Amino acid sequence: MLDMSASEPGPGTGAAASAPGAGAAAAPAETGRDLALADFSPPSVHVGERLIRMAYRMGIPGTMLTAPMGKKARTRLLATVSNTLPGDRVAGTALRAGHFLVHGAKTPIAQVDYAGAARVTPPLEKAVHSFAWLTDLEACGPREQGVPVAERILTAWLQANPQPPAKPGKGPAWSVGNTGMRLMNWLVHAPLILSGEKALRSRILGHISATARWLDRHVTRGEDRLAEVAGWCGITAAGLLLPDGRPRRLYGEAGLIKALGELIGDDGGVLSRSPLAQMEAIALLVRLRNCYNATRRDPPEAIERVIEMLVPPLLALTHGDGSLGSWQGGWAIDGEDVSALVAASGVRARPLRDVRQWGYQRVLANKTTLQFDTSPPPMPQHARYGCASTLAFELSHAGHRVIVNCGGAASGGGLVPVRLEQGLRATAAHSTLTLDDANSTAILINGMIGSGVSQVDVDRKTLPQDNGSTATRIEASHNGYAARYGLTHQRILILRDDGTELRGEDLLLPSSRKGKRGKVGFAIRFHLAPDVDVALTADGQGAGLALSDGSYWQFRSGAGDVTIEDSLWVDGQGRPQATQQLVIQGLVSRGGGNFGWLLKKMS
């Protein structure tokens, strides 16, 4: 049985399977990893298939292994895939009007350099070269209206990319991640691109076959683990849907399951700690499962089990309205999008509350949801948009956000300017403490993370209260400022179980017996949601927060004056919204200090 002890009811509960083979009677899933290492070994096959897989891995063509004396099969698709992942109707409508719409930014289709020589922004680059836009085009109207648009873009792309290069990295079109996703989207949305004239159809099928062969050779050179998983998914889908594909399928399944074992941690969270990457991994596996369903095959059990593992950690980062918290480059993705993905997965799951390895703590107290980052940032080899967010938190009540993080580093290049990406990854862009305006972990260019937080200690317990109720207390500390300032940051959060009061204390403790002399500047930031109206109290020691639902919260500082500064927050569509932040700042001795504060619902 799966461990149910560290879970809670949540927005994912009861999500029904909406696709054939999506787990018709799926049991509620939790994870702890009851997947043993053996579950990430290649699927059990008989001796003959093992030999076929080994021969294909060594480079022997699939046709020689399936029909060595027979006639080579004509390139065609063996089945039509039913897509269960909904697209963005607004983005699809923009495509029909002649524009790519990515995170609120419009780019004319005719102005895109499909060869990639004139680099465009990373979000647009990914959307164009992964052909993720096919899902949006399918969602916005009848197929016959979308086919001319799809053929126009694909024809332009094929003219710019007539054949695969010798190796990955020759432009954004031929990264392993984009290529794997592109092959998968071509196969899943084949009716949109293969309904035209015979010459174009033959050309597209030839390119699909060439792309699959290119991935066979280069899939292990992915830019990160998620990109490698995308490549293996494309290979496996091609093995299912192209003629003489059995050797490729056996090869792809073995590589995919191994790559999945290296992508996720023991509790089911991807090692990049990114909810965006978590969603992308789920979507890839759901699309692949749809390919299995189309060919009337069952996917390997390990793939189903990994989907079950991926969903509960994702739900741990949802607020009361089902939307996501803003962590590790992600933004406040709308609850409808999260729910649609969970429904397509077929997994009925409850959010994990104590996701130790993925690094997030979740507390659900009546109508209040607390999310707390209690882990070092991801390792550089795992992360694309790693953030210095250790000991930051978010708080929402009745589906309305109160305290947030700015989020949205991965959307830089849409309406969020690319130049803001590095700032949105900084400690100051999160609701936590900073010393000397420095990041707790170094933020480097090109999405890289440097030195800083390497250890986080966490303790979680339930406390009895005087009135007979209880409260959840989480204490965590990190060493990100120890080397530079000789101080360890410790944060204690206590949330009453009725959800009306959050007490916090930030402590700076000497990291060694020999303390440093002097003082250093500190700032504790509380970024506010855009629909929170804020006003300082007369004594300057607090602020009143009015939410759009009519509720009123009071913030009090026990550590000095509170000021209001401008901030920004990236919304569910990846668009920046102006907002404000509460800031407590001053000087603290190198010998340490402590700063208490309180957030309480008054009505």
Query: Rounded to the nearest 10 degrees, how much is the dihedral formed by the CA atoms of 125, 128, 132, 133?
Result: 130
Going by C-alpha positions, the residue among 390, 392, 425 that lies closest to residue 409 is 425
Number of neighbouring beta carbons within 10 Å of residue 442? 15
The pLDDT of 31-40, averaged and rounded, is: 46
Q: State mean pLDDT over 504-516.
A: 87
Which band of pLDDT confidence, cut at 50, 70 and 90, is reported for residue 68? low
pLDDT the model gives residue 76: 87
Q: Is 34's pLDDT higher than 50? A: no
Q: Residue 524 — pLDDT band, cuts 50, 70, 90? A: very high
Q: What is the pLDDT of residue 515?
A: 63
Share of the chain above pLDDT 70, in %: 88
Residue of higher predicted confidence among 20 and 369? 369
Is the pLDDT confidence value at 22 over 60? no
> Which among 256, 260, 276 has a CA at the least distance from the CA of 268?
260
Please check the confidence at residue 166 and state whether its pLDDT lies above 60: yes
Is pLDDT of 522 > 80? yes
Q: Is the pLDDT of residue 435 over 60?
A: yes
Whether 143 shows a pLDDT value over 60: the answer reads yes
pLDDT at 136 over 90: yes
Q: Please give the pLDDT value at position 512.
A: 82
Give the position of tokens 């390895």. 357
| 9, 306, 323, 427 from 349: Cα distances, Å | 8, 13, 16, 32
Q: Exposure of 427 by Cβ count < 10 A (0-12 exposed, 13-18 middle, 19+ buried)?
A: buried
User: Contact, 490 vs 500, CB < 8 A?
Assistant: no
pLDDT class for 169, splitting at 50, 70, 90?
Answer: confident
Question: DSSP for 451-479?
Answer: SS---EEEEEEEEE-TTS-EEEEEEEEE-
Token readout for 515 is 């303390």
Closest CA to 225 of 282, 160, 177, 284: 177
Distance from C-alpha of 200 to C-alpha of 182, rounded to nearest angstrom: 18
What CA–CA distance (Å, rounded) separates 224 from 274? 13
Residue 465's pLDDT band, with cuts at 50, 70 and 90, is confident
Residue 19 has pLDDT above 50, yes or no: no
- What's the average model confidence in pLDDT over 403-431? 94
**pLDDT bracket for residue 167 (50, 70, 90):** confident
User: Does residue 41 surpass a pLDDT of 80?
Assistant: no
Q: Are 165 and 217 in contact (CB under 8 A)?
A: no
User: Is the per-residue pLDDT at 114 higher than 80?
Assistant: yes
Q: How far apart are CA 326 and CA 396, in angstroms?
A: 12
Q: How many helices (H) and strands (E) does the chain have?
A: 16, 19
Q: Are 399 and 506 in contact (CB under 8 A)?
A: no
Other C-beta atoms lying within 10 Å of the C-beta of residue 122:
20
Name the more confident of 46 and 165.
165
- H/E stretch holding 218 reads helix 198-218
Q: Which residue has the higher pLDDT, 34 or 400?
A: 400
Confidence bin at 246 (pLDDT 50/70/90): confident
Q: Which of 280, 289, 194, 196 is nearest to 237 (CA)?
A: 289
For position 14, what pLDDT does the model report? Answer: 37
Both tokens of residue 423? Answer: 């700032």
Per-residue confidence (pLDDT) for residue 53, from 0 to 100: 64
The whole-number pLDDT of residue 122 equals 87
Q: Which residue has the higher pLDDT, 244 or 55?
A: 244
What number of residues does the chain have? Answer: 603
Tokens of residue 314, six digits: 């994702």
Whether residue 39 is predicted with pLDDT greater than 80 in this model: the reply is no
Range with lowest mean pLDDT among 117-121, 235-239, 527-531, 579-583? 117-121
pLDDT at residue 10, rounded to an integer: 42
pLDDT score recorded for residue 195 = 87
> What region, left, alpha or beta, does residue 244 occupy, with left being phi > 0 and alpha being psi -120 to 50 degrees?
left
pLDDT digits (tens, 9 = 90+) for 341-357: 999 999 998 888 888 88
- Residue 376's alpha-carbon distances to 102, 194, 389, 391, in angstroms, are 30, 47, 8, 9
pTM of the model: 0.90
139: closest CA among 189, 73, 199, 88?
88
Average pLDDT, whole number, for the chain? 89
Residue 147, classified by CB atoms within 10 Å of its CB into exposed (0-12), middle (13-18) or buried (19+), is middle
The amino acid at 378:
P
Q: Is 79 exposed, middle or buried (0-12, 13-18, 19+ CB in 10 A)?
A: middle
Whole-number Cα distances in Å, 511 to 197, 291, 399, 427, 508? 71, 54, 39, 20, 9
CB atoms within 10 A of CB 551: 17
Please say whether the beta carbons of 386 and 380 come within 8 A.
yes
pLDDT band at 26 (very low <50, low <70, confident <90, very high): very low
Residue 258, both tokens: 């191994």
Angle at which helices 246-263 and 301-315 cross, to 10° = 30
| Per-residue model confidence (pLDDT) at position 48 | 65
| Count of beta carbons in the 10 Å neighbourhood of residue 366 | 13
The token pair that represents 357 in the structure block: 């390895």
Q: What is the mean pLDDT of residues 193-219?
A: 93
pLDDT of 36 > 90? The answer is no
Tell me how far apart the alpha carbons of residues 491 and 6 are, in angstroms, rounded to a whole number.
22
Instruction: Give the per-residue pLDDT at 32.
Output: 42
**Which of 558, 555, 560, 506 lies closest to 390, judged by CA?**
506
Confidence class for position 37, pLDDT limits 50, 70, 90: very low
Q: Is the pLDDT of residue 27 over 80?
A: no
Mean pLDDT of 307-334: 96
Structure tokens at 28: 């509620």
**Among 500, 553, 502, residue whose Cα is nearest residue 529:** 553
Cα separation, 225 vs 269, whole angstroms: 13
User: Stretch 374-402: mean pLDDT, rounded?
Assistant: 93
pLDDT at 568: 96
Q: Residue 154 burial by CB count (10 A; 0-12/13-18/19+): exposed, middle or buried? A: buried
What's residue 468's pLDDT? 80
Work out the pLDDT band at 20, boundaries 50, 70, 90.
very low
pLDDT, residue 44, reads 63
Residue 391 has pLDDT above 90, yes or no: yes
Q: What is the mean pLDDT of residues 404-421?
A: 93
Reading the block at residue 89, the tokens are 């109707």
3-state SS, residue 355:
strand
Reply yes or no on whether the pLDDT at 46 is more than 80: no
**Residue 537 DSSP one-character state:** -
CB of 354 within 8 A of CB of 361? Answer: yes
Reported for 58-64, long-range contacts at CB under 8 A and 24+ positions apart, including other chains, are 60/247, 62/244, 62/245, 62/246, 62/247, 62/248, 63/244
How do residues 307-317 score in pLDDT, each as one tens digit?
999 999 999 99
Residue 78 phi, psi dihedral angles, 5° rounding:
-85, -15
| Mean pLDDT to the nearest integer, 104-115 | 92
